[in-house]
Structure 1
Amino acid sequence: MRKFSLFLYYLILNKLPHSSVPLIGLPCERLKEFFAKRMFSYCGTNVNIGKGARFGNGKYIRIGNNSGIGMNAKVPNNIQIGEDVMMGPNVTIFGANHEFSRTDIPMRKQGMKTYPPVEIEDDVWIGSNVIIMPGLVIKKGTIIGAGAVVTKSFPAYSIIGGNPAKFIRSRKM
């Protein structure tokens, strides 16, 4: 059932409109959620998968209640997304990167370096066009400003932004 759901998602479902489209948006989102429960290792309730979102084979994805993968987002097939996570459009999250430690071999021949899965904790807001590098933990309550390039982890309840992303302020006063 998982392979059939994945095939159907990439053939038809990822072209369906966003939940904000009047009349048909919400039923389309519920249909995508129905199939996500069959593709992902865990899928909570009220999950929103945006139009054009890509997640590889999705086999090891875990996504919590009331969370979403943004429109045209590209996420690795082993990401962990907590509850109440908002993700804007065009977000790219990497799960691996090129190996480049040796200088006697061209980088393209050194293969890929793997990292632990990216983990996005609960109550996170990721703005549009954000890039998150592999192996990071996005802590609870964090806000990532649009266009940020996140290369390291930050404390919980941080507001971060920029390229590379820098700490702007804490949400806790």
Structure 2
Amino acid sequence: MASIQNKPYRNRALDNKVKLIWLALYYGFARWLPESYSPLGKLLRSRQIRYIICKNIFLKCGKNVNIERGSNFGSGFEIEIGDNSGIGINCTCASNLKIGSNVLMGPQCFFLAFNHNFMDKSISIKEQGYSEKMVTTIGDDVWIGREALFTPGRTIADGTVIAARTCVCKDFPAYSVIGGNPSRLIKTRI
């Protein structure tokens, strides 16, 4: 009976070791392959190689997913990404990001998972540690422009368009077009 109870634990431990091998393969090799749409990237099949590797790392990885050159997603073990979506060139993602289907992401986007604590004035900010890790969720059919920054725990509703260099620090309704620093509603797509 004890061996039956321990078996799932052993499988989970083995799965984590295998995922670590895939992770080393991504960061040591596949991350540095050329961009997917460059002539050399097409020749080397960079997109397909990164897809196969990330499919073995991420918690969920849909069909036709494009992880671009230089993307950093920490361990990636909790990342979920839907069909026809991607992570842009040189993007930095929290390891627990959730991305819906048909999401376009420009280069150099940055997703934060937590912040520094700072409310106790009797202790230096450096010594106060971090807030709890928060999940950023991106809905379906979203377009994220170049160099967008996301504060922790944002929920990006379906159909949202985010302008380049936007600091997304609050949530907006579905089909919003947002931009600026701090982010604000520019117009609605409805």
Q: TM-score range by the shorter chain?
A: over 0.9
Structure 1, 112-121 or 53-62: larger mean CA deviation: 112-121
The corresponding residue for 2:36 is 19
Runs of 4+ more than 6 Å apart: none
The corresponding residue for 1:96 is 114
Preserved contact between residue 34 and residue 40 of structure 2 (Cα < 8 Å): no
| 2:154 is the alignment partner of 1:150 | no
Mapped partners of 2:152, 2:85: distance in 1: 20
Mapped partners of 1:64, 1:18: distance in 2: 21
> Which is strand-richer, 1 or 2?
1
The corresponding residue for 1:9 is 26
| 2:182 is the alignment partner of 1:164 | yes
Mapped partners of 2:23, 2:112: distance in 1: 20
Mapped partners of 1:116, 1:93: distance in 2: 11
Aligned residues: 172
Query: Any unmatched runs of 5+ in structure 1?
Result: none
**Structure label with greater radius of gyration:** 2
Assess, with a 3 A threshold, how the Cα gap between structure 1 residues 25 and 114 changes in structure 2: closer, same or farther: farther
Preserved contact between residue 79 and residue 98 of structure 2 (Cα < 8 Å): yes
Relative to the length of structure 1, the TM-score reads: 0.97
Cα RMSD of the aligned pairs, angstroms, is 1.0
The corresponding residue for 1:45 is 63
1:94-122 deviation per Cα after TM superposition (whole angstroms, max 9, x unaligned): 01110111110001101100243000010
1:32-80 deviation per Cα after TM superposition (whole angstroms, max 9, x unaligned): 0101111000101111111100000001000001000010000000000
Query: Any unmatched runs of 5+ in structure 2?
Result: 1-17
1:122-143 deviation per Cα after TM superposition (whole angstroms, max 9, x unaligned): 0000000100100110000000
> Which is helix-richer, 1 or 2?
2
Identity of aligned residues (%): 42
| 2:94 is the alignment partner of 1:81 | no
Mapped partners of 2:75, 2:41: distance in 1: 26
SS at match of 2:73: coil
Mapped partners of 2:100, 2:173: distance in 1: 16
SS at match of 2:25: helix
How many Å apart are 1:28 and its aligned residue? 1.0
Structure 1, 67-76 or 25-34: larger mean CA deviation: 25-34
Q: Which amino acid aligns with 2:114?
A: A
Q: Which amino acid aligns with 1:15?
A: W
